[in-house]
């Protein structure tokens, strides 16, 4: 793997005026380069690691700013290399001026290159590196919890345990191959098959829990669906607590879907207000309805809204044909217009209205019920992105092939090969076996100073 050893620099704080700005430098020449522009009571080259020095950054003896310079010596730094962080006054002009000076001696960091170097220098594994990105993007209490737990190694420990367990299974098979003619007890194949199937089941459970990990990071996709004028946009606005969607008595007001995100009891919920489903000659509205169907198919949850269940029964049937019934929450809106005795006939519907305070509480509770995430599962380690989940699914496929090899008595060589393949896929999660393309894709989503 090609790994550039040149010294890099970047502004690590967000653009805009602030109390302070931070410019970060990493590499074997970091201390020497910053020393060329820094004047203080002590030389940076003489400072021990994890020390802060006060002084001035100058350009040809012209002072740019008074700064605090932090020195972190290899290997005890974020990247595992020498790092210098310059804390200056947080104006764009000052931070960019300091960066310009440094760029005469070192190069600009690529997006996420500081964290990439931390990974390549074994300061963290790939799950922890990805957690840094997740932490930067965390929008809710539980997405933050998942990211911080992963950063602290919860997923790393879980994957290591899985690998250790798989290694024990591999050893049993490989001993049979290596010492076939030796006087050692034969492998109890029925017991081995039981262990293998138990391992397969545990991987399946882990994958199922990890689907919720994706929800923590990307949000539960909830689509509001129904005929025109049943109150989809009113419910959308109430959930957001703002007038995001236009609400009028005219059918077909929503021509395209709207998307917004909210935090519901610490969970990220992405809500889609779709165009009213109906037959129409309006070409623009037709396009909006087609897009709504695409959104519906890709949603985790569908809230089917009606104010007249008999009239809209055909629309509900169409939904049943498109998606699983388990994904649908049936909602009877405008409950304030119904007699209480009539409402008893619609027990399978969540009854709501947008007039009364708390009129959507039952709907919110039902949405939260569909997020089956235990905080203990988050703390124990869950997969949180498609790369990790894909790797584990590939490992599961190899484990299934190994079980089939046992059942069909293909021989120990086939079983060993399949289990070794499964190990390689699981090691991908930690970054033990990872292509440059995958690494570049991961770190390109980071900001330049991280």
Domain definitions of the chain by residue range: 8-124, 132-215+379-443, 218-369
CA separation for the pair 296, 323 (Å, rounded): 8
**Would the pLDDT of 144 be above 60?**
yes
Instruction: Please give the Cα distance from 158 to 155 (Å, whole number).
Output: 5
> Which CATH fold topology does 132-215+379-443 show?
1.20.120
Percent of the residues in the chain that have a pLDDT greater than 70, as a whole number: 90
Note the pLDDT of residue 248. 40
Residue 397 pLDDT more than 60? yes
Which distant-in-sequence residues (6+ apart) come within 8 Å of 357 by Cβ?
none
Q: Which of 97-111, 131-145, 416-430 has the lowest mean pLDDT?
A: 131-145
Q: Reading across the β-sheet that carries 267-273, which strands appear in turn?
A: 258-264, 267-273, 220-225, 301-306, 328-332, 350-351
Please give the radius of gyration of the chain, using alpha carbons only, rounded to the nearest integer.
Answer: 29
pLDDT tier for residue 246 given thresholds of 50, 70 and 90: very low
- Tell me, which fold does domain 8-124 have in CATH? Gyrase A; domain 2 (3.30.1360)
Range 218-369 has CATH code 3.40.50.300: yes
Interstrand relation of 350-351 and 328-332 (parallel, antiparallel or unpaired):
parallel
The greatest distance separating any two alpha carbons of the chain, rounded to the nearest whole angstrom, comes to: 86
Mean pLDDT, the chain, whole residue set: 86
The predicted model scores a pTM of 0.79
Candidate from 46-50, 133-137, 337-341 with smallest mean pLDDT: 337-341
Residue 395 tokens read as 């490992």
Say what the pLDDT of residue 54 is: 96
DSSP 226: -
- Whether the pLDDT of residue 116 is over 80: the answer is yes
Cα separation, 229 vs 24, in Å, equals 55
């Amino acid at each position: 793997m090609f790994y550039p050893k040149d010294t890099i620099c970047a502004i690590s704080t967000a653009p805009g005026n602030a109390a302070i700005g931070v410019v970060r430098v990493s590499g074997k020449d970091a201390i020497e380069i910053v020393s060329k522009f820094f004047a203080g009571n002590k030389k940076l080259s003489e400072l021990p690691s994890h020390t802060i020095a006060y002084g001035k950054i100058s350009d040809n003896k012209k002072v740019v700013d008074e700064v605090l310079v932090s020195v972190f010596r290899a290997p005890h730094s974020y990247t595992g290399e020498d790092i210098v962080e310059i804390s200056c006054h947080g104006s764009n002009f000052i931070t960019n001026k300091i960066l310009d000076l440094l760029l005469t001696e070192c190069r600009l960091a690529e997006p996420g290159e500081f964290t990439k170097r931390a990974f390549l220098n074994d300061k963290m594994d790939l799950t922890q590196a990805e957690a840094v990105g997740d932490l930067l993007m965390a929008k809710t209490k539980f997405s933050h919890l998942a990211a911080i737990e992963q950063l602290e190694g919860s997923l790393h420990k879980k994957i290591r345990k899985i690998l250790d367990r798989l290694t024990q299974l591999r050893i049993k098979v490989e001993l049979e191959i290596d010492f076939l003619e030796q006087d050692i007890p034969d492998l109890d194949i029925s017991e081995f098959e039981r262990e293998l199937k138990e391992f397969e089941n545990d991987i399946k459970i882990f994958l199922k829990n990890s689907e919720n990990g994706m929800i923590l990071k990307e949000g539960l996709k909830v689509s509001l669906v129904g005929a025109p004028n049943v109150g989809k946009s009113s419910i959308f606005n109430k959930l957001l607590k703002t007038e995001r969607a236009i609400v009028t008595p005219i059918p077909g007001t929503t021509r395209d879907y709207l998307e917004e995100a909210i935090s519901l009891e610490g969970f990220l919920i992405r809500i889609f207000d779709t165009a009213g489903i109906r037959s129409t000659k309006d070409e623009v509205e037709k396009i909006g309805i087609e897009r709504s169907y695409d959104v519906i198919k890709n949603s985790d949850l569908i809230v089917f809204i009606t104010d007249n269940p008999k009239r809209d029964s055909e629309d509900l049937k169409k939904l049943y044909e498109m998606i699983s019934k388990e994904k649908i929450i049936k909602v009877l809106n405008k409950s304030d217009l119904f007699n209480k005795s009539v409402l008893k006939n619609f027990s399978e519907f969540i009854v709501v209205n947008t007039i009364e305070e708390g009129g959507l509480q039952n709907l919110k509770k039902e949405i939260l019920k569909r997020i089956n995430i235990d905080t203990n599962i988050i703390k124990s380690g869950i997969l949180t992105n498609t790369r990790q989940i894909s790797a584990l699914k590939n490992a599961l496929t190899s484990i299934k092939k190994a079980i089939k090899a046992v059942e069909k008595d293909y021989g120990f060589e086939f079983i060993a090969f399949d289990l070794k393949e499964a190990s390689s896929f699981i090691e991908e999660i930690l970054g033990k076996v990872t292509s440059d393309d995958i690494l570049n894709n991961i770190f390109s989503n980071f900001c330049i100073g991280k």
